[in-house]
A and B are shown apart, each in its own frame.
Chain A
Amino acid sequence: MKKNVQLLVLFMVAALITPILTSFRADDEADRVIGIWEPSSGKARVKIEKIGSKYYGKIVWLREPNDETGKSKVDKNNPDESMRSVPLKGYRMLKDFSYKGNNEWADGTIYDPENGSTYKSTIKMKDNNTLEIRGYIGVSALGRTDVWKRLQAAGK
């Protein structure tokens, strides 16, 4: 009986720990996308972070932060009128990405504040400092890929 109980406890501990350890390893791989990134145009910087089990990106810097009146830029092109006074800094333009393995995050959307359009999107990590972000309409062939570069504190 004692042996049976020890086996039972061992089994339960293993059953609890194994998925936790596995998820830590998967999380490590998936979390490489977290950081500050700059699109190829250099017009903005985006902070990708993890919320729950998904990944999101918000605008944290704009090369031209103010509009023609000198006020902070807002999301004036949003098709939803209630969003048009929301500041672009802090705006979550990448949403709902899940890690699919093989350096790819998918099932997300990317928002273009310049025309107020939201596109389906996938993220592919080419190397630790380079992302290929593809926005597309319906099928992936009808889209555009941009290359984002990782940023770090100056002098590191």
Chain B
Amino acid sequence: MQFPLYAIAPAIARIAVCLLCAVAALHAQTPDSTKTVEEEEDFSQYENLTFADTKAKNYCTPKIPGLSPQKLISIAYDLQLPAELSTPLPPAESRRMTAHGIRLGANIPVISNNKIVWQMGANYWETRYNTTGNQAESPNAFTRTLTERGLRTMGLNTTLFKPLNDKRFLLVQASADLNGDFRWNDFQSLSYLRYSAAAVFGFKPNDRLMWGLGAARTYRVGELNYIPVVLYNWSSTNSKWGTEILFPARGHVRRNFSPRTILMGGWELEGNTYRLNQLSNSNYPDAELRRGEARLRLVLERQLRGFIWLTAQAGWRYNWGFNIDQGDFFRGFNGKQPYLAENTWSNPLYFNIGVHLVSP
């Protein structure tokens, strides 16, 4: 029996047409993938469901709606307007000075899943002090240290958020900072690293509130101290108002004009203890500056494009302390140890502007 190709060609053509029709029919039934929302369906069928894995459970997240975005990478510039700095360190003197400098920060997630969020960060801040009135070289060793060398902070930090279940969590932060009048070509011994840490046991009773209690070892206002801390992050039902508080370090009332524009008003305590090498090499061994300040401020955070955000701060810098000690020790709230010098500094306006890459 002969099967010339021309005899079976129509059959092959018919099969091909059938296959094409079948493919076309399947394609015609495919929903439009470009649409964001499909037709209304009965969503009640998704209410009475359970986990397929009976051991599965939910965990709370470190976020609530409306919270200001977490910064992954930051570059900012900080400026304090002229203020009168007076030191009793002989020869005593007063000078009007500005303080300004760049602040760089990075905070990168190492592990980020529903059971643990672990981040590592690094920061570099520098503060330069410029005399605005009397430009003659200062006879005072402390003032000269500030104007000639400025202050720098370089540190590593880590943050761990560990949800225990859908209502409770642990938050642990730790940092190691090298603070002082060091320069890149005149680096400071790592023996002057200063360590801070905080731990909070927290609750998330609903999607709009996180609160917790804990304790901290901190140099935040210059002095080493051990203090209780309170976390209170809250968002209103419409997410237009909220609070972001880690008392006493910082506290803000938040107004969300949109997810891309946030205004906050509140305070932040800032500072550390700074090894003053230049002063230590004169007549004051182991000199350390206990710098602490409270910043009462307005903070505007606004999305520039995509994940790039702008932060602008304006406020009043209140001098908590700018005193000189010798060595690092615990004075606490009631310590009687005398300072080497109790400096005074008037309280100027300050401004800070920064650009940030923010986290998902």
Interface of A toward B, CB cutoff 8 Å:
1-2, 5-6, 8-9, 12, 16, 36, 38, 40-43, 45, 47, 51-52, 54, 56, 58, 60-61, 63-64, 67-68, 77, 79, 83, 86-87, 89-92, 95-96, 112, 114-117, 119, 127-130, 132, 135-137, 141-147, 149-156
A126–B277 Cα distance when bound, in Å, is 54
A90 touches B40 (CB 8 A): yes
- Chain B, interface residues (CB within 8 Å), range: 35 or more
- Is B25 located at the chain interface by the 8 A CB criterion? no
B36 touches A64 (CB 8 A): no
Using CB atoms, name the residue of chain B closest to A68.
B237
A79–B176 Cα distance when bound, in Å, is 40
B207 touches A40 (CB 8 A): no
A115 touches B259 (CB 8 A): yes
8 Å CB interface, B1-28 against A: 1-5, 8, 12, 19
Nearest-CB distance from A4 to chain B (Å)?
9
Using CB atoms, name the residue of chain B closest to A63.
B207
Q: Residues of B contacting A51 with CB < 8 Å?
A: 30-33
Nearest-CB distance from A26 to chain B (Å)?
17
A144 touches B41 (CB 8 A): no
- Is B359 located at the chain interface by the 8 A CB criterion? yes
Interface of B toward A, CB cutoff 8 Å:
1-5, 8, 12, 19, 30-33, 35-38, 40-41, 43, 46-53, 56, 58-61, 63, 65-66, 69, 72, 108-109, 112-115, 117, 166, 207, 236-239, 258-260, 306-307, 357, 359-360
15 contacts between A and B (CB under 8 A): A2-B2, A5-B8, A16-B19, A38-B58, A58-B38, A61-B49, A68-B236, A68-B237, A114-B66, A114-B239, A130-B56, A141-B108, A142-B359, A150-B52, A153-B48
Q: Which 8 A-B pairs have the closest CB atoms?
A: A40-B114, A42-B58, A151-B49, A68-B237, A129-B53, A5-B3, A149-B56, A147-B114
Knowing A5-B5, A61-B43, A142-B359, the reply to whether A153 touches B33 (Cβ < 8 A) is: no
Knowing A36-B46, A42-B166, A149-B56, the reply to whether A143 touches B237 (Cβ < 8 A) is: no
B8 touches A9 (CB 8 A): yes
Knowing A64-B207, A149-B53, the reply to whether A144 touches B109 (Cβ < 8 A) is: yes
